[in-house]
């Protein structure tokens, strides 16, 4: 597991999200943030798409980042030439191997394999130290023997990495279509042919299973995983970067590997310029990801956060929060009052709770600024001066909600 590398393709696959097009300075900023987090490979774009992408890939490649900078190319000489002229150290080429796609292109499998081997040989001859990945497009729905034959030819031509692409989010963990089985079988079949490439997995999220399938691939020996910020990408997108890294750090022994506290900043940046809000309930990076709301939950979480959270928010530089709305109880309000007033007056808390529930029923939460306004509206100025005198502290009853 220690050789695992993360390939972020926000700047390539992420821009395949409808209407997403990052300007050059933002593309550079995203690459810098990914590098700060410790991402191993940044797929910076498909240079043939536009002149702007071409110059952005080139400038990111010259930036001296720790990450390896990569580009994407069809199995065409022109695409390879443009990518290599950008100065990238990593190139991903793809070509389909399924019978239906080949029929559509009026190509035989053998001529497709010839094309794949030719383009890899060409790229490697032009740049011998290039790290080259070949992707049999829609690997998992293609006939297995086709994928193996193409991968074998690719490795023999010089490919370092074979990517197992779940192009349509077809795979399901634990079933007949598991990524674990697919990666295991492919590694075994290639090994029997004397080929030991690195295996990458590219998991689309059409069924909401991209993170689970990526973990399944890792478990079977894949050493590169493709991700994007916010899971951007075609249709329902790809494996979400933050969700995957949080699980790997918390549960798979990668705690110190990445600077996860930088993730919220990266997500805000990408969200803003992609024009796609971060869903409030997005794992790890959503505004509600570490918020406790219901009275029973907050009361228990205030005593011990582990009662109602299995992922430590400090892992990604965040802290647990209490949301105040109609679901709140006295413990939540007392806690919030302590944080703004330095005290928790039971009688005041009971009056505030009535207001909080009233506002919550209109579909809003009460933040600390509004809480202060509620306190001010309840208390006359002269009441708030002698704190604690003749009043009951919340602490004596907060455990009873
Ligand atoms: Zn894709």
Q: Which of 46, 202, 204, 297 is catalytic?
A: 297
Model pLDDT, residue 253 = 92
Higher per-residue pLDDT: 241 or 291: 241
144 pLDDT above the threshold of 60: yes
Q: Residue 283 has which token pair?
A: 């794992």
Q: Provide the β-strand partners of residue 345.
A: 393
Model pLDDT, residue 395 = 64
- Residues 146-177 pLDDT 10s: 999 999 999 999 999 999 999 999 999 999 99
Q: How far is the CA of 327 from the centre of ligand 1 (A)?
A: 41
- Interhelix angle 346-360/330-341, rounded to 10 degrees, is 110
Encode the chain in three state secondary structure: CCCCEEEECCCCCHHHCCCCCCCHHHHHHHHHHHHHHCCCEEECCCCCCCHHHHHHHHHHHCCCCCCEEEEEEECCHHHHHHHHHCCCCEEEEEEECCHHHHHHCCCCHHHHHHHHHHHHHHHHHHCCCCEEEEEEECHHHCCHHHHHHHHHHHHHHCCCEEEEEECCCCCCCCCCCCHHHHHHHHHHHHHHCCCCCEEEEEEECCCCCHHHHHHHHHHCCCCEEEEEHHHCCCCCCECEHHHHHHHHHHHCCCCCCCCHHHHHHHHHHHHHHHCCCCCCCCCCCCCCCCEECCHHHHHHHHHCHHHCCCCCHHHHCCCCEECECCCCCHHHHHHHHHHHHCCCEHHHHHHHHHHHHHHHCCCCCECHHHHHHHHHHHCCHHHHCCCCCCCCEHHHCHHHC
387 pLDDT above the threshold of 70: no
Q: How many CB atoms lie within 10 A of CB 18?
A: 6
Q: Quickly state the pLDDT bin for 400 (edges 50, 70, 90).
A: very low
Q: How far is the CA of 34 from the centre of ligand 1 (A)?
A: 19
Q: How far is the CA of 312 from the centre of ligand 1 (A)?
A: 31
Asked if 171 and 186 count as a contact pair (C-beta separation under 8 A), the reply is no
Q: How far is the CA of 167 from the centre of ligand 1 (A)?
A: 5
Active site residue 170: no
**Mean pLDDT, rounded, for 34-55:** 97
* Cα–Cα distance for residue pair 255/257, rounded to 1 Å: 6
Half-sphere exposure of 160 (CA within 13 A, CB side): 13
Model pLDDT, residue 397 = 46
* Cα–Cα distance for residue pair 101/137, rounded to 1 Å: 10
- Residues 96-133 pLDDT 10s: 999 989 999 999 999 999 999 999 999 999 999 999 99
Q: How far is the CA of 112 from the centre of ligand 1 (A)?
A: 20
Q: Quickly state the pLDDT bin for 380 (edges 50, 70, 90).
A: confident
β 68-74/161-166 pair status: unpaired
Q: What predicted TM-score, i.e. pTM, was given to this entire model?
A: 0.91
- Rounded to a whole number of angstroms, the CA Rg of the chain reads 26
- Residues 185-238 pLDDT 10s: 999 999 999 999 999 999 999 999 999 999 999 999 999 999 999 999 999 999
Q: How far is the CA of 16 from the centre of ligand 1 (A)?
A: 9
Higher per-residue pLDDT: 375 or 320: 375
Domains of the chain (ranges, CATH numbers): 5-274 (3.20.20.70), 291-400 (no CATH)
- Residues 269-290 pLDDT 10s: 999 999 999 999 999 999 999 9
Q: Quickly state the pLDDT bin for 256 (edges 50, 70, 90).
A: confident
**Mean pLDDT, rounded, for 239-246:** 98
Model pLDDT, residue 382 = 63
Model pLDDT, residue 296 = 83
Q: Provide the β-strand partners of residue 8.
A: 42, 227
Model pLDDT, residue 388 = 47
């Amino acid at each position: 597991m220690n050789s695992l590398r993360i390939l972020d393709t926000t700047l390539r696959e992420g821009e395949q999200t409808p209407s997403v097009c990052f300007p050059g300075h933002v593309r550079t900023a995203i690459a810098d943030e990914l590098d700060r987090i410790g991402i191993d490979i940044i797929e910076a774009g498909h240079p043939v798409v536009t002149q702007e992408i071409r110059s952005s890939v080139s400038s990111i490649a010259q930036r001296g980042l720790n990450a390896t900078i990569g580009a994407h190319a069809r199995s065409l000489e022109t695409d390879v030439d443009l990518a290599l002229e950008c100065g990238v150290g990593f190139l991903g080429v793809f070509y389909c191997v399924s019978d239906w796609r080949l029929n559509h292109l009026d190509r035989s499998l053998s001529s497709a394999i010839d094309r794949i081997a030719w383009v890899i040989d060409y790229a490697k001859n032009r740049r011998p130290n290039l790290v080259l990945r070949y992707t049999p497009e829609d690997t998992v729905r293609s006939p297995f023997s086709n994928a193996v034959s193409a991968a074998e030819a690719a490795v023999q031509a010089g490919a370092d990495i074979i990517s197992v692409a779940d192009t349509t989010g077809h795979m399901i963990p634990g079933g007949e279509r598991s990524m674990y089985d697919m990666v295991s079988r492919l590694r075994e079949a290639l090994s029997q042919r004397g080929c030991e490439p690195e295996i990458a997995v590219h998991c689309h999220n059409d069924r909401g299973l991209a993170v689970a399938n990526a973990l399944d691939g890792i478990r079977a020996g894949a050493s590169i995983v493709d991700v994007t910020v916010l899971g951007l990408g075609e249709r329902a997108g790809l494996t979400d970067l933050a969700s995957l890294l949080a699980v790997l750090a918390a549960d798979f022994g990668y705690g110190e590997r990445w600077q996860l506290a930088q993730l919220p900043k990266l997500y805000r940046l990408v969200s803003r310029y992609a024009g796609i809000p971060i869903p409030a309930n997005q794992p790890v990076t959503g505004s509600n990801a570490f918020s406790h709301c219901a009275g029973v939950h907050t009361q228990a979480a205030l005593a011990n956060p582990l009662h109602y959270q299995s992922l430590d928010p400090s892992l990604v530089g965040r802290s647990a929060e209490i949301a105040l709305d109609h679901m709140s109880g006295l413990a939540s309000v007392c806690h919030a009052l302590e944080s703004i007033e330095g005290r928790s007056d039971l009688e005041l808390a009971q009056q505030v709770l009535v207001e909080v529930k009233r506002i919550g029923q209109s579909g809003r939460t009460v933040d600390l600024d509004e809480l202060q306004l509620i306190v001010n509206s309840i208390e006359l100025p002269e009441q708030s001066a002698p704190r604690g005198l003749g009043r009951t502290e919340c602490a004596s009853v907060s455990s009873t909600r």
